[in-house]
Amino acid sequence: MDSLPEDCVSKILSYTSPPDACRFSMVSSTMRSAADSDLLWQSFFPSDYRHILSRALFPHTLDSSSYKHLFYSLCHPLLLDGGNMSFKLDKSSGKKSYILSARQLSITWSTDPLYWCWKTVPESRFREVAELRMVSWLEIRGKIGTRVLTANTWYAVYLIMKVSHREYGLDRVACEVSVAVGEKVQSGRVYLCEKEEKKGKKERVLNMEEEVIGVATRREDGWMEVKVGEFFSGHNEEEVTVSLMEVSYPLKGGLIVEGIEVRPKRHHS
């Protein structure tokens, strides 16, 4: 490999992955030069990265001294579209993920202060989150086009949320969830809580009906997430519709919605 021209080595390394390129840079000085080259790291970027950068709320926070530095800057959340969407790259694959803020979602009755309130919380990446005061009809929907995602990739969809100290009713019944891409629909049921008894119930229902996806789990950023479903992003441009609904009589309150995340799956069986 040391006898090959640098641009040739960079081209070969472009068929690997960002972590592999970093490992190759430790082999020799020739490999280091090729593995750190802009030619190589630009190949790990999505084709629409310039358009994504043009939508950044704070572009000055990105390290653009090289394509390698810019790549790893984009592996951290970047606010887009006036701060209503978050974007980042997966550092192991360069695949794209997005978080739609609560303001980009369709939340039934969210404009009525009797049922929902919009507030600022310091731990959120977005300017506002939606807090449920009291409803019997809980319905949250979100949409994203596959054209903005990485093609030929399995994605998982999560509701990012918390429960306040005034929470009630969220652990009584499961929510109906679905992810639809074209005519393909995946549906199931989830609990918007983290209680151990619901985890046990989840396991029993999984064995009997195989329809409960899960319960809320803790994230590294301090929020909670509950998996809504998954889908495959192919080459065709389609719309992905995400839905969460619980419309039975019991009143519910204390749910804090930050957004919906669409992120690539690491493994799929």
Domain ranges for the chain:
6-79, 97-264
Encoded amino acid at 83, one letter: G
Greater confidence (183 vs 202) lies with 183
Specify whether the CB–CB gap between 45 and 150 falls below 8 A: no
Extract the tokens encoding 96. Answer: 């794209």
Residue 206 pLDDT > 50, yes or no? no
**Mean residue pLDDT across the chain:** 88
- Please report where in the chains the tokens 């929902």 appear, as a residue: 116
**Pairing verdict, β 138-145 and 106-107:** antiparallel
Its pTM stands at 0.88
Residue-wise pLDDT tens digits, 163-188: 998 889 888 888 999 999 988 999 99
Q: What class is the 97-264 domain?
A: mainly beta
For 28-37, 152-161, 165-174, which range has the lowest pLDDT when averaged over its residues? 28-37
Q: Any idea how long the chain is?
A: 269
Extract the tokens encoding 247. Answer: 């419309």
> What is the C-alpha separation between 237 and 172, in angstroms, rounded?
39
> What is the C-alpha separation between 151 and 116, in angstroms, rounded?
36
> What is the C-alpha separation between 233 and 88, in angstroms, rounded?
17
Q: For the residues 197-226, what does the mean pLDDT come to?
A: 66
Residue 111 pLDDT > 90, yes or no? yes
